[in-house]
Structure 1
Amino acid sequence: MLNLRVNYPSVPSELELFHAYTAEFPRRSEFDLLHPPAYSLQERDEATLLQFLGVDMDAVKATSVITTIPSANSALYCVMAVLHKGLQVVATEEFTFPGFKMIANHYNVPLATVACDEEGMIPSALAAFLEAGTCKLVYLQPTIHNPTCAVMSLERRQAIAEVVASFEDVYILEDDAYRFLHPSPPPTFLSIIPSRTVHILSLSKAYNPFLKAAYIIYPTKLLQGLENYIRLTSSSPCSLFIDFGIHLLQGGRLQKIMAEKQAVAKDWQDQIRKVMKRVPYATHPNSFHFWIMLPQGNSSSTITSYLRTEGMDIPDGVDFAVNGQENYMRVALGTEWQSPELLPAMEKLAACILGNN
C-alpha cells in the first residue's frame, strides 16, 4: 500500500548529519543529554533559532517567550488547551489541517471559515468577521498551505496583520509546517506582528519525523500554564533532540537538507505536471502535496475507497474541509517519493479521476 496520506519527505543525508553529530559528543555531554531539558532555551540557542527564522531578534525578545515542545501537533494541542475556555470560535480558511480540526473539536471550539482567494484568507473578509467581536484567534498556514498550497504574499500578510492589530486581544496562531519547502518565503507573521502571533516551528518535516523538536514562540503572559500541559501530555521535550535541533540550525546544516528536499519536490512536480495535465489541481513548485478538484458529481470518499483497493492510501478531502465539501482530494508524495511504484500509481490516479479506469 502506497502511503500518500502522510507527508514527511526524507533524504539519505539526514542520517549522515545525525551520525556526525553524535560522533562529536564529549563523554560528559553524552550523560547531560539523558536528562530532561528546561522548557526555555539558553540565550545563545534562542539567538540561533530566531536567526534561522529571519526575525528581528530584539523585537521578538521584547514581546515574546520561547518554549520547547516535542512536536507541532503537541504544540497546537497545548496552545488550545490553554486558550479554549476563552474562545467562542476560531477563524480559519475553508480548508485546513485536519489535526487542528480534531483539536478544536476536542475542546468544543467551533471553526468558522473566512473567505479566501488564491493567496488564502482575504483581509477585508477577516475584518468583517472580527467586527462581531466573538473571535479572538485566527489560525493560519501562510506558506504552502495544507492542503491548498497557497502562499500569502508579504503584502497580504501585512494587511492581515493590520486587521488583527486593529482589534483588541485578537491573536494569530501561525502554523508554518511547510515553510521549509519555499526557497524564499515571505516574512513570518512572527516577524511582522510578534506581539499578536503564536508561532509554531517543528523540525520533523524540515529534517526527519524521528526528531521530536519543536518551538512555540508566543506573546509574554498569553499562554499561562502552557508548561503544565506540555508536562502532562508528553512529560517533557528530549534534551538530545532539542540540542540536535539547535545543532541543525547552526552553520547552514538544515538549510542544505531543505534545499535537497526542495530539489526533489521540484523534480516530482515536473513529473506530476505531465501525468496530471488534464486534471485540475493546485500546488506549489516545491511542494510534495497537491490539491485536486474532482469532476462534478464525484466525492472524494468514493474515489479514495476505490484507490485503496488499488494500493493507494489517500485521505478523504472532507478531512480537510471545515464545512464538509467532498469534491477535493489531497495527495502527498513526501513519504513515497523514492518508490518505483509511485509514478505508475499517479498515472492510475489520473485515469481514475478522469473516468478512464
Structure 2
Amino acid sequence: MSAADLVPGWKQYIDRNAGPLYLSIVEALAESIRRDEIHEGDRLPPQRTLAKTLGTDLTTVTRAFAEARRRGLIEATVGRGTFVRVGATETRWRNAGRAVVDLTMNLPPIPENPSLQQLIQNDISRILRRQDLHALLSYRVTGGTSEERQLAADWMKPMLGARPADEVLVVPGAQSAMSAVVSTLAAPGDVIVTDRFTYPGIRTLAAQFGLLLAGVDSDREGMVPDLLDRACRQHRPRLIYCTPTIQNPTTATMSLARREAILAVAKAHNVQILEDDPYSLLLDQPPPALAALDPSRVFYVSTLAKVLSPGLRLAFLVAPPDAVQRMSSAVRAISLTCSGLMTSLVARWMQDGQAQAIVRAIRTELRLRQAAARAILGDGHCMHPDGPHVWLKLPDWWGSVDFVSYARRQGLGLVPSSVFTVEGEPAQRVRIALGSAATLDSLEASLHGVVSVLQHKRSPGYTDIV
C-alpha cells in the first residue's frame, strides 16, 4: 500500500483523536509504520497535497513533518521529496509519541518518604508564623548569620571534621562560591589545571573570567599525580580544580593515598586547590576532604543541590582563615546574599533532623537506581554505587555527539562527552543522570531505551549536526 493510499485512513485516525492536529498527523504516520503498512524508503505525498486531503492548512502539515523528522520517522531531500527514514522501524522508542525523557541533569531523586512537598508546606507555614516576614524577605548578611554558619560547619563534619564556623560562608549556590574563588585567585590569562573531562561549570567560569584550562588525564582514582606535576611545571597554574569524590563525569573517587599525593604536588608548586564536593554525603562514610588534610591550601565548596534539592539554592564555602574576608567580599560582589526564606527552611531542617532524613532517603534511592543501571547496562561503564550518574562507554560504531543526537530522536536526553572535555578528543562516552527520572520504573524504561540505541547500528547515510 502506498503512502497516498493511506491518507484517507489517516483522516479517520485523526478525527478520533482529541489532541493537537499536527501531533495527530505524526501519530497516524507512526501507527502506519508500526503496522508495516508503510515501509522504510516510501515516499510521502507532497505537503500541499496532504494538507488538501486532510482538510487542513499547509502550516499544520509543515509542523507535523518537522515533529516527525525530530522523532526520526522521516527525512527530506531537496528536489526529491520526503521519505520514511531508513531505520524508522528499528526501535520501539521512536513511535511512543513521548516527550524527551531528560537524563541530562544531575538532580537528586525526589523521595517519597519523607515527602518534600509536605515538609515544605508545613515548615514554610511554621516559619512564617514564628519569624518576622520583613526580615525573611529583606537583604541578609552576606555569608550567613553565626548560627547558620555553625549549622553549615556541623553539616560538613563528616568530610571536614571540626571546622570553625567563622571559616564558613553560606552562599546562594555552588557556582557563586566557585565564582568567588576563581575571580579572587586568578586573573585573565591565568591557567587553572583540572581533569581532562571535568564539570562544565568550571569551563563556564573560565570563559567568563578569561582564564585558560589545562586538562590532566585520570585513572580510576582520579587525577594522576605525575601528570598533575607535569602540568604544573608546564603551565604554572594559579589554581587546581578537582572533585575528589565521585568525579563528574567519570565517577572516579580518590583514595586517601591519592589525595595526599595530589596535595603534595600542589604544595611543591605552591598552588592552591578549589575542591568541589557535591556528592560526598551520598556515601555512608565519606573519605576526608582535601580541605581536611590541608586547610591552609584548599578552598572547599559543598552544595545542597545534589543531596537535598537544587531549588534550595544553598551551598557552603570553606576558606583558609586568611582568605575568608576576601571570599566574603567576592560573594557579596557576585551574588550579594542568600534567600532568607530558603535559608530559614534549610536551617530548620538541619536543626530537627529532616535534612539528614532526606539525604538518607536520596542515598537509598540512588543506590537502587545504580543497581538497576548496572543490571540493565551491564559492566564496562564508569559507575559508582552511591553516585548520581553513569559514564557510559559507547560501542565502536558510535561517536558521542551522534549517539546523543540519535538518542534524542528516540526520546532520550543524554549528555555527550564533548560538554566535559577540556582538551584533546572527546571520549567515546556519554553521561546518564539517574536522579532526574521521576520514578525507578521510569528510569528502568529509559535505560532499556538506551540499550536499544547502543545496539542500533546506523545506516551508512545517517548523519547529524548539533
TM-score (norm 2): 0.70
Out of 104, 116, 119, the position equivalent to 1:14 is 116
Deviations 1:37-92 (A, max 9, x none): 211333343332222211343xx439x73222211122223322223317621111
In the aligned structure 1, how far is the partner of 2:131 from the partner of 2:416?
49
AA at the equivalent of 1:52? W
Larger RCO of the pair (alpha carbons < 8 Å, separation 6+)? 1
Q: CA deviation at 1:339?
A: 6.6
Residue correspondence of structure 1 range 305-324 to structure 2 within 5 A? 305-323=405-423, 324=425
TM-score (norm 1): 0.89
Out of 121, 142, 150, the position equivalent to 2:252 is 150
**Residues 1:182 and 1:27: Cα distance change in structure 2 (over 3 Å):** closer
Name the residue aligned to 1:178.
Answer: 279
In the aligned structure 2, how far is the partner of 1:178 from the partner of 1:48?
19
Say which is worse superposed, 102-111 or 1-10, in terms of deviation: 102-111
Contact 1:82/1:223, CA 8 A, preserved across alignment: no
Where 1:352 maps in the other structure, the secondary structure is helix
Residue correspondence of structure 1 range 271-350 to structure 2 within 5 A? 271-277=372-378, 280-323=380-423, 324-338=425-439, 340-350=441-451
Deviations 1:233-266 (A, max 9, x none): 4342112222322333334322221111111111
Contact 1:144/1:151, CA 8 A, preserved across alignment: yes
Name the residue aligned to 2:150.
Answer: 47
In the aligned structure 2, how far is the partner of 1:262 from the partner of 1:179?
11
Contact 2:177/2:301, CA 8 A, preserved across alignment: yes
AA at the equivalent of 2:389? H
AA at the equivalent of 1:3? D
**Residues 1:284 and 1:353: Cα distance change in structure 2 (over 3 Å):** same
Name the residue aligned to 1:247.
Answer: 348
Q: CA deviation at 1:302?
A: 0.5
In the aligned structure 2, how far is the partner of 1:75 from the partner of 1:45?
16
Contact 2:369/2:440, CA 8 A, preserved across alignment: no
Residue correspondence of structure 1 range 158-307 to structure 2 within 5 A? 158-168=260-270, 170-222=271-323, 226-227=327-328, 229-277=330-378, 280-307=380-407
Q: CA deviation at 1:198?
A: 0.9
In the aligned structure 2, how far is the partner of 1:326 from the partner of 1:160?
24
Q: CA deviation at 1:133?
A: 6.6
AA at the equivalent of 1:125? L
Q: CA deviation at 1:226?
A: 4.4
Contact 1:2/1:342, CA 8 A, preserved across alignment: no
Out of 240, 243, 263, the position equivalent to 1:138 is 240
In the aligned structure 2, how far is the partner of 1:140 from the partner of 1:322?
13
In the aligned structure 1, how far is the partner of 2:164 from the partner of 2:281?
23
Q: CA deviation at 1:331?
A: 0.6
Contact 1:92/1:114, CA 8 A, preserved across alignment: yes
AA at the equivalent of 2:363? Q
Q: Could you say what the CA RMSD is over the residues aligned between the two structures, in angstroms?
A: 2.4
Structure 1 position 111 matched with structure 2 position 213: yes
Name the residue aligned to 1:35.
Answer: 138
Contact 1:291/1:328, CA 8 A, preserved across alignment: yes
AA at the equivalent of 2:204? M
Name the residue aligned to 2:48.
Answer: none
In the aligned structure 2, how far is the partner of 1:155 from the partner of 1:282?
21
Say which is worse superposed, 20-29 or 143-152, in terms of deviation: 20-29
Out of 188, 213, 229, the position equivalent to 1:127 is 229
| Runs of at least 5 residues in structure 2 that lack an aligned partner in the other structure | 1-99, 459-466
Structure 1 position 95 matched with structure 2 position 216: no
Q: CA deviation at 1:179?
A: 1.8
Deviations 1:156-211 (A, max 9, x none): 2122223323332x111011112232221101112111111111122122111220
Where 1:250 maps in the other structure, the secondary structure is helix
**Dislocated runs of 4+, deviation >4 Å:** 223-229
Q: Percent identity?
A: 27
In the aligned structure 2, how far is the partner of 1:155 from the partner of 1:18?
42
AA at the equivalent of 1:265? L
In the aligned structure 2, how far is the partner of 1:314 from the partner of 1:65?
38
**Residues 1:297 and 1:105: Cα distance change in structure 2 (over 3 Å):** farther
In the aligned structure 2, how far is the partner of 1:97 from the partner of 1:124?
22
Q: CA deviation at 1:14?
A: 2.4
Indicate the structure (1 or 2) with the bigger Cα radius of gyration. Answer: 2
AA at the equivalent of 1:38? V
Contact 2:187/2:210, CA 8 A, preserved across alignment: no
| Runs of at least 5 residues in structure 1 that lack an aligned partner in the other structure | none
In the aligned structure 1, how far is the partner of 2:365 from the partner of 2:400?
27
Contact 2:218/2:224, CA 8 A, preserved across alignment: yes
In the aligned structure 2, how far is the partner of 1:267 from the partner of 1:80?
36
Say which is worse superposed, 20-29 or 194-203, in terms of deviation: 20-29
Name the residue aligned to 2:101.
Answer: 2
Q: CA deviation at 1:120?
A: 0.1
AA at the equivalent of 1:147? P
Where 1:131 maps in the other structure, the secondary structure is helix
